[in-house]
Amino acid sequence: NAGVMQNPRHLVRRRGQEARLRCSPMKGHSHVYWYRQLPEEGLKFMVYLQKENIIDESGMPKERFSAEFPKEGPSILRIQQVVRGDSAAYFCASSRPRGSKETQYFGPGTRLLVL
Amino acid sequence: DQQVKQNSPSLSVQEGRISILNCDYTNSMFDYFLWYKKYPAEGPTFLISISSIKDKNEDGRFTVFLNKSAKHLSLHIVPSQPGDSAVYFCAASSEGADGLTFGKGTHLIIQP
Protein backbone atom coordinates (compact mmCIF):
# COMPACT_ATOMS: atom_id res chain seq x y z
CA ASN A 1 0.00 0.00 0.00
CA ALA A 2 2.81 2.38 -0.96
CA GLY A 3 2.18 6.08 -1.17
CA VAL A 4 3.69 8.47 -3.68
CA MET A 5 7.38 7.69 -4.15
CA GLN A 6 9.98 10.24 -5.10
CA ASN A 7 13.67 9.83 -5.70
CA PRO A 8 16.22 10.93 -5.06
CA ARG A 9 15.29 12.54 -1.75
CA HIS A 10 18.28 14.87 -1.98
CA LEU A 11 20.14 15.98 -5.09
CA VAL A 12 23.20 18.21 -5.35
CA ARG A 13 24.14 19.67 -8.69
CA ARG A 14 26.66 22.26 -9.88
CA ARG A 15 25.50 25.17 -11.99
CA GLY A 16 25.02 24.12 -15.60
CA GLN A 17 24.35 20.45 -14.86
CA GLU A 18 21.08 18.63 -15.40
CA ALA A 19 18.73 17.48 -12.64
CA ARG A 20 16.29 14.59 -13.06
CA LEU A 21 13.62 14.06 -10.45
CA ARG A 22 11.44 10.95 -10.47
CA CYS A 23 7.95 10.33 -9.15
CA SER A 24 5.89 7.15 -8.95
CA PRO A 25 2.20 7.77 -8.16
CA MET A 26 0.13 5.88 -5.66
CA LYS A 27 -1.35 2.59 -6.81
CA GLY A 28 -4.55 3.26 -8.73
CA HIS A 29 -3.61 6.88 -9.46
CA SER A 30 -3.03 7.91 -13.05
CA HIS A 31 -2.63 11.66 -12.60
CA VAL A 32 0.58 13.36 -11.49
CA TYR A 33 1.27 16.93 -10.43
CA TRP A 34 4.59 18.65 -9.76
CA TYR A 35 4.99 21.51 -7.30
CA ARG A 36 7.99 23.58 -6.22
CA GLN A 37 8.51 25.06 -2.76
CA LEU A 38 11.04 27.82 -2.29
CA PRO A 39 12.28 28.57 1.25
CA GLU A 40 9.64 30.25 3.43
CA GLU A 41 7.04 29.93 0.66
CA GLY A 42 4.04 27.78 -0.06
CA LEU A 43 3.99 25.16 -2.78
CA LYS A 44 3.62 26.47 -6.33
CA PHE A 45 1.97 24.37 -9.03
CA MET A 46 4.16 23.58 -12.01
CA VAL A 47 2.62 20.91 -14.24
CA TYR A 48 -0.15 18.30 -14.42
CA LEU A 49 0.27 15.10 -16.42
CA GLN A 50 -1.54 11.94 -17.29
CA LYS A 51 0.18 8.95 -18.88
CA GLU A 52 1.85 10.16 -22.10
CA ASN A 53 0.07 13.52 -21.89
CA ILE A 54 0.87 16.94 -20.49
CA ILE A 55 -2.50 18.39 -19.50
CA ASP A 56 -1.54 21.69 -17.90
CA GLU A 57 1.95 23.19 -17.78
CA SER A 58 0.88 26.72 -16.92
CA GLY A 59 3.19 26.85 -13.90
CA MET A 60 6.32 25.62 -15.63
CA PRO A 61 9.14 28.07 -16.37
CA LYS A 62 9.36 28.60 -20.12
CA GLU A 63 12.95 27.47 -20.43
CA ARG A 64 15.08 24.63 -19.07
CA PHE A 65 12.19 22.77 -17.38
CA SER A 66 10.35 19.82 -18.88
CA ALA A 67 8.19 16.99 -17.57
CA GLU A 68 7.00 13.66 -18.87
CA PHE A 69 4.93 10.72 -17.68
CA PRO A 70 5.64 7.79 -20.01
CA LYS A 71 3.39 4.81 -20.52
CA GLU A 72 5.77 2.72 -18.42
CA GLY A 73 7.78 4.02 -15.53
CA PRO A 74 7.76 7.05 -13.30
CA SER A 75 7.08 10.67 -14.12
CA ILE A 76 10.25 12.70 -14.65
CA LEU A 77 10.81 16.39 -13.98
CA ARG A 78 13.92 17.49 -15.83
CA ILE A 79 15.80 20.71 -15.23
CA GLN A 80 18.55 21.52 -17.70
CA GLN A 81 21.49 23.83 -17.01
CA VAL A 82 20.51 24.36 -13.39
CA VAL A 83 21.08 27.71 -11.70
CA ARG A 84 21.25 28.58 -8.00
CA GLY A 85 17.67 29.85 -8.08
CA ASP A 86 16.48 26.32 -8.90
CA SER A 87 17.43 25.23 -5.36
CA ALA A 88 14.14 24.24 -3.78
CA ALA A 89 12.04 21.31 -2.65
CA TYR A 90 10.16 19.67 -5.51
CA PHE A 91 7.04 17.74 -4.58
CA CYS A 92 5.07 15.34 -6.67
CA ALA A 93 1.42 14.56 -5.98
CA SER A 94 -0.95 12.04 -7.51
CA SER A 95 -4.70 11.60 -7.71
CA ARG A 96 -7.31 9.33 -9.20
CA PRO A 97 -8.85 10.32 -12.53
CA ARG A 98 -10.58 13.63 -12.09
CA GLY A 99 -14.34 13.61 -12.53
CA SER A 100 -15.14 15.64 -9.47
CA LYS A 101 -12.73 17.03 -6.96
CA GLU A 102 -10.07 14.48 -6.24
CA THR A 103 -7.66 14.88 -3.38
CA GLN A 104 -4.00 15.12 -4.30
CA TYR A 105 -1.62 13.01 -2.22
CA PHE A 106 1.98 14.14 -1.94
CA GLY A 107 5.30 12.38 -1.96
CA PRO A 108 8.18 13.18 0.41
CA GLY A 109 9.83 15.56 -2.03
CA THR A 110 13.24 15.95 -3.63
CA ARG A 111 15.45 18.64 -2.17
CA LEU A 112 17.60 20.10 -4.92
CA LEU A 113 20.68 22.09 -4.01
CA VAL A 114 22.57 23.87 -6.76
CA LEU A 115 26.11 24.83 -5.87
CA ASP B 1 -0.13 38.18 -5.82
CA GLN B 2 -1.20 35.79 -3.06
CA GLN B 3 -4.63 34.35 -3.79
CA VAL B 4 -4.53 32.24 -0.63
CA LYS B 5 -3.26 33.96 2.49
CA GLN B 6 -2.31 32.58 5.85
CA ASN B 7 -1.49 35.69 7.80
CA SER B 8 -0.10 34.02 10.90
CA PRO B 9 3.35 32.55 10.24
CA SER B 10 3.25 30.81 13.60
CA LEU B 11 0.84 29.94 16.39
CA SER B 12 1.55 28.58 19.86
CA VAL B 13 -1.17 26.65 21.73
CA GLN B 14 -1.16 24.74 24.97
CA GLU B 15 -1.69 20.99 24.83
CA GLY B 16 -5.34 20.09 25.33
CA ARG B 17 -6.63 23.47 24.14
CA ILE B 18 -8.19 24.34 20.80
CA SER B 19 -5.96 25.36 17.88
CA ILE B 20 -7.54 27.64 15.30
CA LEU B 21 -5.71 28.21 12.02
CA ASN B 22 -7.04 30.80 9.62
CA CYS B 23 -6.94 31.21 5.87
CA ASP B 24 -8.28 33.92 3.57
CA TYR B 25 -8.66 33.82 -0.18
CA THR B 26 -9.29 36.39 -2.87
CA ASN B 27 -10.33 34.31 -5.90
CA SER B 28 -14.12 33.91 -5.90
CA MET B 29 -13.76 31.04 -8.40
CA PHE B 30 -12.26 28.76 -5.76
CA ASP B 31 -14.78 26.03 -4.94
CA TYR B 32 -12.78 23.40 -3.08
CA PHE B 33 -10.50 23.88 -0.12
CA LEU B 34 -8.04 21.58 1.59
CA TRP B 35 -5.78 21.60 4.63
CA TYR B 36 -2.44 19.82 4.59
CA LYS B 37 -0.05 19.19 7.46
CA LYS B 38 3.68 19.08 6.89
CA TYR B 39 6.54 17.90 9.06
CA PRO B 40 10.14 18.98 8.27
CA ALA B 41 11.75 17.02 5.44
CA GLU B 42 8.46 15.32 4.56
CA GLY B 43 5.75 15.94 2.01
CA PRO B 44 2.40 17.54 2.87
CA THR B 45 -0.14 15.12 4.32
CA PHE B 46 -3.81 15.60 3.49
CA LEU B 47 -5.94 16.40 6.56
CA ILE B 48 -9.40 17.52 5.58
CA SER B 49 -11.25 19.24 2.75
CA ILE B 50 -14.45 21.15 2.17
CA SER B 51 -16.51 21.93 -0.89
CA SER B 52 -17.97 25.38 -1.35
CA ILE B 53 -21.49 23.96 -1.09
CA LYS B 54 -20.85 23.25 2.58
CA ASP B 55 -19.92 25.47 5.48
CA LYS B 56 -18.54 22.84 7.83
CA ASN B 57 -16.79 19.50 7.62
CA GLU B 58 -15.67 17.45 10.60
CA ASP B 59 -13.29 14.51 10.91
CA GLY B 60 -12.37 13.44 14.41
CA ARG B 61 -10.43 16.22 16.13
CA PHE B 62 -10.35 18.31 12.95
CA THR B 63 -13.13 20.62 11.76
CA VAL B 64 -12.97 23.01 8.84
CA PHE B 65 -15.34 25.98 8.61
CA LEU B 66 -15.97 27.91 5.41
CA ASN B 67 -17.43 31.42 5.25
CA LYS B 68 -17.88 32.14 1.56
CA SER B 69 -19.15 35.68 1.97
CA ALA B 70 -16.01 36.58 3.91
CA LYS B 71 -13.79 34.37 1.72
CA HIS B 72 -12.42 32.86 4.89
CA LEU B 73 -11.86 29.37 6.20
CA SER B 74 -10.50 28.04 9.43
CA LEU B 75 -9.22 24.74 10.76
CA HIS B 76 -10.05 23.83 14.34
CA ILE B 77 -8.09 21.14 16.15
CA VAL B 78 -9.46 20.06 19.50
CA PRO B 79 -7.97 18.91 21.74
CA SER B 80 -4.50 19.84 20.52
CA GLN B 81 -1.81 17.20 20.95
CA PRO B 82 2.01 17.38 20.81
CA GLY B 83 2.03 15.46 17.51
CA ASP B 84 0.00 18.28 15.96
CA SER B 85 3.09 20.50 15.97
CA ALA B 86 3.78 21.01 12.26
CA VAL B 87 3.30 23.51 9.44
CA TYR B 88 -0.29 23.67 8.19
CA PHE B 89 -1.03 24.70 4.63
CA CYS B 90 -4.34 25.91 3.33
CA ALA B 91 -4.93 25.13 -0.38
CA ALA B 92 -7.70 25.89 -2.86
CA SER B 93 -8.78 24.83 -6.31
CA SER B 94 -11.34 25.93 -8.88
CA GLU B 95 -13.24 24.22 -11.66
CA GLY B 96 -11.05 24.07 -14.70
CA ALA B 97 -7.81 24.61 -12.81
CA ASP B 98 -5.62 21.61 -12.27
CA GLY B 99 -3.14 22.72 -9.68
CA LEU B 100 -3.81 23.66 -6.11
CA THR B 101 -3.06 27.19 -4.91
CA PHE B 102 -1.32 27.11 -1.54
CA GLY B 103 -0.89 29.61 1.26
CA LYS B 104 2.53 30.10 2.83
CA GLY B 105 1.67 28.01 5.85
CA THR B 106 1.28 28.46 9.60
CA HIS B 107 3.72 26.82 11.97
CA LEU B 108 1.68 25.38 14.85
CA ILE B 109 3.56 24.71 18.07
CA ILE B 110 1.81 22.73 20.78
CA GLN B 111 3.26 23.52 24.20
CA PRO B 112 3.15 20.87 26.97
- Say how many C-beta atoms besides its own lie within 10 A of residue B34's C-beta: 22
Contact B101 A46 (CB under 8 A): no
Reduced to 3 states (helix: H, G, I; strand: E, B; else coil), residue A12 is: strand
Q: Stretch B15-28: mean pLDDT, rounded? A: 97
Q: Please classify residue B4 by burial: count the beta carbons closer than 10 Å to its beta carbon, then call 0-12 exposed, 13-18 middle and 19+ buried.
A: buried
pLDDT, residue B66, reads 98
Q: What is the pLDDT of residues A44-84, one digit of tens each?
A: 999 999 999 999 999 999 999 999 999 999 999 999 999 99
Q: To probe the interface with B, which of A104, A105, A110 has the most B CB atoms within 10 Å? A: A104
**A-chain residues within 8 Å CB-CB of B93?**
101
Tell me the residue type at B39.
Y
Q: How far apart are CA A107 and CA A113, in angstroms?
A: 18
Reduced to 3 states (helix: H, G, I; strand: E, B; else coil), residue A85 is: helix
Interface check B51 vs A, CB under 8 A: yes
Nearest by Cα to A111 from A86, A93, A94: A86
Q: To probe the interface with A, which of B39, B98, B106 has the most A CB atoms within 10 Å? A: B98
Tell me the residue type at A14.
R
Question: In chain A, pLDDT over 70 holds for what percent of residues?
Answer: 96
Number of H helices, E strands in chain A: 0, 11
pLDDT, residue A102, reads 76
Report yes or no: A5 and A23 within 8 Å, Cβ to Cβ. Answer: yes
Interface check A105 vs B, CB under 8 A: yes
Q: What is the pLDDT of residues B59-70, one digit of tens each?
A: 999 999 999 999
Interface check B94 vs A, CB under 8 A: no
What is the per-residue DSSP string for A21-43? EEEEPPTT--EEEEEEE-TTS-E
Nearest by Cα to A112 from A24, A45, A15, A46: A15
Question: In chain B, pLDDT over 70 holds for what percent of residues?
Answer: 100
Handedness of CA B41, A58, B34, B70 (dihedral sign): positive
- Say how many C-beta atoms besides its own lie within 10 A of residue A99's C-beta: 6
Contact A109 B49 (CB under 8 A): no
Contact A106 B34 (CB under 8 A): no
Q: Where are the beta strands (DSSP E) in B1-112?
A: 4-5, 10-14, 19-25, 30-38, 45-51, 56-59, 62-67, 72-77, 86-94, 101-102, 106-111
Q: To probe the interface with A, which of B32, B36, B51, B100 has the most A CB atoms within 10 Å? A: B100
Contact B104 A58 (CB under 8 A): no
Interface check A48 vs B, CB under 8 A: yes
What does the CA dihedral A87, A89, A90, A91 come to, rounded to 10 degrees?
A: -170
Contact B34 A103 (CB under 8 A): yes
